[in-house]
Structure 1
């Protein structure tokens, strides 16, 4: 009787663990949604570009720079979406077999959850920097329409992103150095074993 109970429990445990492992696919629709959002953002990019082409002759250099920074902002957000989609899927859902692909992005080399966090944090800091630069350009043109408090808040947000990225990278560096110092290569372990003999 005990053997039957243990067998039943073992089968249930295997089924439940398999179900938990399968649950990672719940994220797949989210990444699909991000891909659809990328196409919508692509539409927005070309909409802004056509708007620029329409009014380029009547704008001054500063206005053109602000609009171009808006396009840069959109492209950087697109980079962030791509990073989350491909990186998140390959780390948390299923491995993407592109190791031998000639177009494999460099940022995918040795990517893990910690490195993805650092890349996301630095991307957010970069996006924040572009947005801050755009605000400064607007502030220089229209001082009366942009509050000083708003600019200060954006500076603080930008600094928070930078500090977060630095702290994440430092934490990842400490973690990797700890693991490498406590993990001996197989050859070193064999040499130590031979030394004891």
Structure 2
């Protein structure tokens, strides 16, 4: 209770411009709520594809089943990415969620910051890109070499970007620890 009172007193003592600037973080709330709606759309899409898979399975070849299952995995990975952005972004940029001690608190949330969130997002994007690339390779007989080449190049760009982000984060963390 004293903490909430101290927070209110600190906010009241802030310069009006600082109060406006700091309060502007709440403008992100509709963005996070919109991502929750997008998550609902992905759940609906997942269920439609799952029903499609179950209904058509007797008439499908193994490669077709694998492509649909990879599509379902892709939806799950994008959904995980959305959760990281929604929960991690809200916690980092808007307001604390105060989940300490909650049995379902994600391990990574206790030490989330903007840099860690970037690294986690970059690695999640690599995972999603890997699924797309695997789908491309499975479907290779139906695609031209140019499509496969560009998807591989784009995937490698994601990998290099993630490694660069992680390396820069490590350099910054290492530099901060020296000071």
Asked if Structure 1 and Structure 2 have the same fold, meaning a TM-score greater than 0.5 normalized by the shorter chain, the answer is yes
Question: Helix, strand or coil for the counterpart of 1:109?
Answer: helix
Give the superposition deviation at 1:109.
2.8
CA offsets 1:46-75 (integer angstroms, 9 cap, x no match): 000000011101111111111100000000
CA offsets 1:12-50 (integer angstroms, 9 cap, x no match): x81111011110000000000000111111000000000
Counterparts of 2:72 and 2:123, CA distance in 1: 19
Tell me which residue corresponds to 2:162.
Answer: 165
Max Rg structure: 1
Does 1:154 find its partner at 2:151? yes
Give the superposition deviation at 1:80.
0.4
Gaps of at least 5 residues in structure 2 are 1-13
Counterparts of 1:27 and 1:117, CA distance in 2: 17
Tell me which residue corresponds to 1:66.
Answer: 67
Gaps of at least 5 residues in structure 1 are 1-12, 183-197
Counterparts of 1:127 and 1:79, CA distance in 2: 10
Q: How many residues are paired up?
A: 166
Tell me which residue corresponds to 2:78.
Answer: 77
Any runs of at least 4 consecutive aligned residues in structure 1 with deviations exceeding 4 A, and if so which?
none
Does 1:89 find its partner at 2:90? yes
Counterparts of 1:147 and 1:60, CA distance in 2: 22
- Measured on the aligned residues, the alpha-carbon RMSD in Å equals 1.0
Counterparts of 2:81 and 2:138, CA distance in 1: 24
